[in-house]
Amino acid sequence: MKKYQILILIAGLTVLLLTQYKVVMPFIYKTAASDLFLVDSKDQASPIAISTPMSGIAFTHCNNYIKSELGPDTTVAFPEKPLNAWTLGNYQYLISAEVTVSNSTKKYACRITYNNGDNEEGSLDFDNWSIIGLSGVTD
């Protein structure tokens, strides 16, 4: 009886591996190669720092968000432009800048997304943006 149990175990593992290799993996490769994950946008990612009107607006919105998070009693000063700004594609931006909080200068990073895609008409309205993450200000 034990001899058959081992053979059944080996046969089951063989069937499982062949199913994985012949059925599951081809399906995964076809799905990944399809347009299912394609985001078609005019805003393309850039590995180098950029300076565009949208990155400037993203910088302003990050600064306004920081100011609102710290409250009206905190003295906050921002530079005119960020140290670096990158577009991550599909209107997502990573802003790196400095902020002076109560006579202490700190560097911060802000990841922000414009929610209206290629329609840039509402870009000045903060309600059309989402702050994904912020680090360095309260650390």
pLDDT classification of 14: cutoffs 50, 70, 90? very high
* Cα–Cα distances in angstroms (integers) from residue 123 to residues 101, 116, 118, in the given order: 27, 8, 10
Q: What is the mean pLDDT of residues 19-40?
A: 85
Mean pLDDT of all residues in 114-137: 88
pTM of the predicted model, to two decimals?
0.70
Q: Which CATH architecture describes the domain 53-135?
A: Roll (3.10)
Rounded CA gap, 10 and 23, in Å? 19
Q: Where are the domains of the chain?
A: 2-37, 53-135
Mean per-residue pLDDT over the chain, rounded: 88
d(CA 60, CA 82): 9
User: Using 50, 70 and 90 to split pLDDT, how confident is the model at 48?
Assistant: confident
Residue pair 55/85 in contact by the 8 Å Cβ criterion: yes
Q: What is the bridge-based pairing of β-strands 104-114 and 92-101?
A: antiparallel
